[in-house]
Amino acid sequence: MKSKFLLFSLLITFLLSIEGYAQTGVKVNGKVSDAKGEGIPGVNIKVKGGKTGALTDGSGSYTITVPNAQSVLQFSFIGFDPQEFTVGTKSEINVTLKETQNELDQVVVVGYGTSKKKDLTGSISSISKENLNLGGVTANVAQAIQGRASGVQVTQASSAPGGNTIIRIRGGNSIKSTNEPLYVVDGFITDIGQTISPSDIEDIQILKDASATAIYGARGANGVILITTKRGKAGKSVVEFESYYGTQRIKSKPDLMNATDYKAIANAKAIEQGNPPEYTAADLASTTNTDWFDLATRNASVQSHNLNISGGNEDTRISISGNYFGQIGALKKTDFDRYSGRFNIDHKVSKRFTVGANAYAARSFSQYKTYDGNIVPSNVLYGIMFTSPAIAPYNADGTYARRNGKDNPLAWLLEPTNDRYNNRITANIFGDLQIIDDLTLHVSGGTEFSATKEGTYLPMTLVSGEKVKGQASVNELNTTRNLFETYLTYKKVFNDVHSFTAVGGFSYQFDQNERHFTQVQKFTTDKYLYNNLAGGAERIGAISYKGEDIRYAYFGRLNYAFKGKYLATFTFRNDVSSIFSSKKRLGYFPSGSLAWRVSDEAFMKDNKIFSNLKVRAGYGETGNDRVPPYTYMATYAPNGVSLGEGSDFYGALVANRLPYENLLWETNSQFDAGVDMGFLKDRLTVTADYYRKRTRSLLLDMPTEQIYGFSTQLINGGTIQNQGIELSINSRNIETDNMTWSTTLNIAYNKQKAIDLNGRPYIISQTANPDGSVPAADFSKLEVGKELSQLYGYVYDGVVKTGETYTPQPLSKPGDPKYKDLDGDGLITSSDRQILGNAYPHYVMGFNNSFTYKGFELGVFFQGAFGADLYNMNRLLLETYTGTAALQRWTPQNNNTDVPRNGYFTSKYGGYINSRFVEDASYVKLKNLSLGYNIPTSKIGFLKGVSNAKIYFTAQDLFTITKYTGSDPEVSSNNNGSDPTSANLRAGLDFNAYPAYRSFTLGLKLNF
């Protein structure tokens, strides 16, 4: 009996083992897609409780072998809710993952580390690649983020291809130094962060308050922009290709007079002043009628082509990308091209050791011009706008026509050569070693090199070039940065209650700048342009320069959380900089912040209002050390003298700056208080912040006694304050299988004022003269209690009428401009000037709506700024000379007008900086309108192998709602980027600016 039972047991065991064997090796395949039906590459698939796993390929497809029918498959991917499925009898399991709605668990990059959103105690704005402004004329990072983050003002100061874009985070802090933020790309502190290809970006974090930026110490005062570029993911290689091409049309053309009217007014003005007519009878009979603006401009184009290849396995992941961006300017001979490439690699050497490398290279070429506020012939916009239409562009033989011995503006636009080449390389390597389970060592080192070459040639086809027999120059500027950083990160949770993250590290940076400039003239031919300087018989200028500076720092940060509800962050950085003297090189920058996750409290569990509620507060100090090396020292320049004709030349070195050994960095102290709220299970989220920051020890040029041989000396003194409110609202209005609608609104208010100017009551800055007959005039005024770049001048009160006696202007004639006597002394003097407006907006706004319906996508993005003014100097000159507004000028027959008879330059009273040309520059733009369609590739045979395909149309700057009468209310001619003082104190000028345009692009995205 026992033997039968034993045989029976063995039989059952054998059969069960056969069944188990039969079930081993069940093969399952399928596809993992998102809500739009697009395959998701790199999804992690595991057998629950086992070690078997797989990853989806580039199209989202997978194959896995499971032990048996009872096996449970787990599907997980960052940013999506995980799902589980029992295999059963299915051999194909297709899965649709939903995006994770709890954004609080998302990991964001912070200075020297990462953090979950819910654990942040500082003020940080996050922008993902899906929310960047891409397409159209998005050539740099600043354009990509405009309007996307509260408290971040982005201004397109120049519309020229490759033109200057300005970023201000919570207002400007400095007068003498730059107010641009610090850029950190993949952990590397860079000076070229704004110019990288936006197509390479995965996400951007903008650190705004001192709690977030203090870990960057002496360079964090203006905020920090952290950029993470795209990296490879484990799984089948993914190929992404995007290409777009578009046209660009100038928004508005100035209203210019025809030649007949222009000649009639010019002659009338000459006769009124007792001079002979400017145009003879033969001139008046001429039919020449030149529209210089039409001749100089064109319908432009823009294109971009980007290819990214990424992939890898669990140990090695690679991403390679290449991009071409090209723009043909709306103004002739103002083109821009950029080629760039990026290579990122991450390799897991062992379980505890990971290494990686990042490399970026770019080459750009531009044909640059001068677009700032001056009237030199090379500033082509000035000639185009204000040259007589009675001049022909060409002679009968095809050469450029001249008048009164001067070249016409078309010749100045097309004949000179102004080329700028730039080569940039950034490369860094890093390693992460997990020393023990809770302690990781990070080491990184890299270099950045930028070489710029500017070549110019003034040909003999121009009058000025003919006089010197051709003139060439080459200006080379090279910058090198070497950066080494290392830090330890310790993470530990005790008793599931106390959570610590501590970071401590060291940073060393060496920068070198070089410049070589040579200018020669007297050539025998124009053929070689600037490529044969030895061919010039006379050298007229040579400059060489080399500067070096070293910075090193120790930094640390401690994050503590109690039960995940009570959060604290403390940061400290100790900076040393060779930019300052040995007495003042050391700086300390601490910060601290606290946060309370109120929604996690027991008493909030049953509340029906908040799904998330966190309050934050922090205070800290940061610095701004961005001034040239050796600024604290007395520097010298070559000079010399000749005692008379035939005398020898005696060379010498002459001091060009007074020393100030106590010079140090500006220090910014900032308080921030904020609240993060979520409603309806976080379908509606709101973030609000209040901040107040003060910058003390301002870098200021202070007047000195002439006995020292200099009019000013750079010292530290004065305080500027910025305070404001930021509000960001995100909502997911509709979420169904076929349709979604989401909305994002951000709006910020900033008020700036000077607390102290080191005892000075005010600082007045001048603008360039708009006409050769007058000098530069006072333009802006900074005074205690007021803000930077306040427009300052006379209050215009119309024209003196026929028969009118205006007592404050006793020598005025009918038709002269009239100004208000504000001080009541009975005369128009400089004391009658007042603040006429302010250049920087008080409010900035971004408003975006995104819609999807089945395969269609629609994005509508508005961007705006309010409370700013512009001085429209173009309008001043158009009204005086070439614009149709001049037809309304005062004459004895046209007494009912506010347009003077002969402009503002001949008046003995007031000045051309007056209220008539100060205009409200508030605006709202339809910045981006995009319509896309996701092509169902699986249903189209010839798209086999393409996992995703999308075609889209984008319109940029489609329309602008504004009262401003100029080309564009964003422009600021003094914000050229090379002179921080001009940008900070003389903003708000519209003069000779590049014409603004709107763009229409058609694009295609393909994933393989």
Q: Decide which of 10 and 465 is more confident.
A: 465
Instruction: Flag whether pLDDT at 133 surpasses 70.
Output: yes
Q: What is the number of helices (H) and of strands (E) in the chain?
A: 11, 54
CB burial readout 733-756, b (16+ within 10 A) else e: eeeeeeebbbbbbbbbbbebbbee
Q: Decide which of 862 and 108 is more confident.
A: 862
Please give the pLDDT value at position 951: 95
Segment 322-337 shows an average pLDDT of: 95
Structure tokens, 863: 């961007």
The answer to whether residues 802 and 814 touch, using CB atoms and an 8 Å cutoff, is yes
Residues in the chain: 1008
Q: What's at 643, amino acid-wise?
A: L
pLDDT band, residue 562 (cuts 50/70/90): very high
Instruction: Flag whether pLDDT at 5 surpasses 60.
Output: no
458 burial via Cβ count (<10 Å: 0-12, 13-18, 19+): buried
Give per-residue pLDDT as tens, 378-437. Answer: 888 999 999 999 999 999 999 999 988 899 999 999 999 999 999 999 999 999 999 999
Segment 766-775 shows an average pLDDT of: 87
pTM more than 0.85? yes
Give the C-alpha separation, 213 to 593, whole Å: 12
Segment 325-338 shows an average pLDDT of: 95
Q: Which residues contact 782 (CB under 8 A, 6 or more apart)?
A: 175, 754, 757, 762, 763, 764, 765, 788, 789, 790, 985
Give the C-alpha separation, 54 to 42, whole Å: 9
Please give the pLDDT value at position 81: 79
Give per-residue pLDDT as tens, 881-899. Answer: 999 999 999 999 999 999 9
Low-confidence winner among 7-11, 28-32, 629-633 (lowest mean pLDDT): 7-11
For the chain, report the end-to-end CA distance as a whole number of angstroms.
67
Give the C-alpha separation, 748 to 880, whole Å: 39
The answer to whether residues 562 and 497 touch, using CB atoms and an 8 Å cutoff, is yes
Q: Which residues contact 12 (CB under 8 A, 6 or more apart)?
A: none
The answer to whether residues 303 and 244 touch, using CB atoms and an 8 Å cutoff, is yes
594 by DSSP, 3-state: which? strand
Paired sense of beta strands 869-872 and 989-990, if any: parallel
Please give the pLDDT value at position 705: 76
Give per-residue pLDDT as tens, 669-698. Answer: 999 999 999 999 899 999 999 999 999 999
Q: Decide which of 486 and 660 is more confident.
A: 486
Structure tokens, 826: 């009975």
Give the C-alpha separation, 272 to 275, whole Å: 7
Question: Residue 413: enclosing H or E segment and its boundaries?
Answer: helix 409-414
CA separation, residue 121 to residues 127, 517, 615 (Å): 18, 49, 9
Residues β-bridged to residue 751: 723
Question: Which percentage of the chain shows pLDDT scores above 90?
Answer: 69
pLDDT band, residue 568 (cuts 50/70/90): very high
Give the C-alpha separation, 84 to 46, whole Å: 10
Q: Which residues contact 230 (CB under 8 A, 6 or more apart)?
A: 129, 200, 201, 202, 308, 310, 319, 321, 342, 344
Backbone angles phi, psi at 196, to 5 degrees: -70, 160
DSSP assignment of 36-87 equals: TS-B-TT-EEEETTSS-EEE--TTSEEEEEESSTT-EEEEE-TTB--EEEE-
The answer to whether residues 79 and 32 touch, using CB atoms and an 8 Å cutoff, is no
The rounded Cα 890 to chain-centroid distance in angstroms is: 45
Residue given tokens 């700048």 in the structure block: 513
Question: Residue 270: enclosing H or E segment and its boundaries?
Answer: helix 259-272
